[in-house]
Amino acid sequence: MTYKEFLATKEAETIYAGLDVDRDDLNNNMFEFQKDIIKWALKKGRACVFSDCGTGKSIMQLEFADKVSNRTGCKSLIVAPLAVVAQTKQEGEKFGFSVTVCRSMDDVKEGVNITNYEMLSHFDADAFGAVVLDESSILKSFTSSTRNQLIDQFQRTPYRLCCTATPSPNDFTELGNHVEFLGIMSRSEMLATYFTHDSGDTSKWRLKGHGESKFWEWVATWAVCVRSPEDLGYSAEGYELPALEIVEHVIKTDPGNFQLFVDRAETLSERREARKQSLVERVEKAREITEETAEQYLVWCDYNAESAALHEAIEKSVEVVGADSPEYKAQKAIEFSDGDIRVLVSKPSIYGFGMNWQNCHNVIFCGLSDSYEQFYQAVRRCWRYGQEHPVKVHVIVSDKELNVLDNVKKKQRQMDEMQSKMVALMRNVTMAEIMHTVRITETYEPKERMELPAWIS
């Protein structure tokens, strides 16, 4: 092997191993940018669609699963959060797809099937030609048993699609787990190729200084990242987000111990104690807000005590908790979508991902956790494309919990900056990828003449 041939082996190529589908054969309910994304994903065979809330991930993943089933004769399986399963079936019927809800292999039929993540152990992955992960950010945790199960269970599945909102640009674990699920490269190989340990801390990785653009170009060969159709050069008409107003309600507490000012909670135990002390006042404030109008309200909380107190205080509210049956959770989600429930009280861990609730534009957080992702996702259930009203988000915290509020605001600023940079770095390659014209290579521009030993030839 010559030295040039050796360098050629280090080039990253665009590989197409899937179905070449005529654009005119795609579902007519899809927008032009959605058709191009799914045509690209089908041709790739294994890909990620990182698409922001309200950009139509549901119809795209349904079309992917449906086309694979129709063209190959294999069954397809969509795996989604529990509360999203019934909604996806409902949307599928609206767009002309036949979707079978399954809890085990006994329920599986030809075509498109859907189940929730908790039921995966009841399915034989080898029975499916395609798998689609809805809200695939579930792969985020490197040590997650669900993450490991998904990668192991579907490693032989020919067609794989991951769909989730735009990931955090500095969450390399999430990206690494996605690329490993797709079977493109292992997480450890990705880290070794593009990253280095940060300051001797082997648990922290950062992009190699000279490799940032090449990394995002490589990501663009297997993932599409889009916050708006405009990111990919399409018209953004109909994809304008309404105004978002975040209203902070700070509950004053007694400093105690003859102090003039309260001490802000620092540790996790201090924050939990602060939330416990302000429970009554926060719940009362939430009740007052829900009585300001006769419109729908989505009330988020984190703890069982908060949920029970809110349900008791807010007249005709409906409470959904973790212990409720899957059928009850799905039914209440649909009733809230249809406007049959005015005030829904629940946790982001139950309904915070995947639900389409443009019907509601009033949101209340009765307390706040440090998770910006959880806050962002919970807000985006209502503040999403297709929402016709300005969205008002009420955040109720005690003065002892202001550190938590400040932390969430800081993470929001960082996320906005990093996502803009990520989309900009990926934009040109992604647009070319969708048109099937790109091949990523490392350009070598010699600056000095090199003399090689005679035995290298």
**Residue 369 token pair:** 């956790």
Check: CB of residue 355 under 8 Å from CB of residue 87: yes
What does the pLDDT profile of the chain (457 residues) look like in tens digits? Answer: 665 555 455 455 455 568 999 989 999 999 999 999 999 999 999 999 988 888 899 999 999 999 999 999 999 999 999 889 989 999 999 999 999 999 999 999 999 999 999 999 999 999 999 999 998 888 776 557 888 899 999 999 999 999 988 666 566 777 888 999 999 988 888 888 888 876 555 456 777 777 778 888 888 889 898 888 888 888 888 788 899 999 999 988 766 654 555 666 667 777 777 788 889 999 999 999 999 999 999 999 999 999 999 999 999 999 999 999 988 998 999 999 999 999 999 999 899 888 999 999 999 999 888 788 888 889 999 999 889 999 999 999 888 878 888 888 887 787 777 777 777 777 777 787 776 544 444 455 566 676 766 666 5
- What pLDDT sits at residue 30? 93
Nearest to 353 by CA among 60, 138, 94, 49: 138
Domains along the chain?
9-235 (3.40.50.10810), 244-410 (3.40.50.300)
- What pLDDT sits at residue 58? 93
Nearest to 93 by CA among 111, 106, 80: 111
- What pLDDT sits at residue 439? 41
Q: Is 281 helix (H, G, I), strand (E, B) or coil?
A: helix
CA distance 102 to 116: 8
Q: Quote the Cα angle for 295-300-303, to 5°.
A: 145
- What pLDDT sits at residue 7? 47
- What pLDDT sits at residue 294? 95
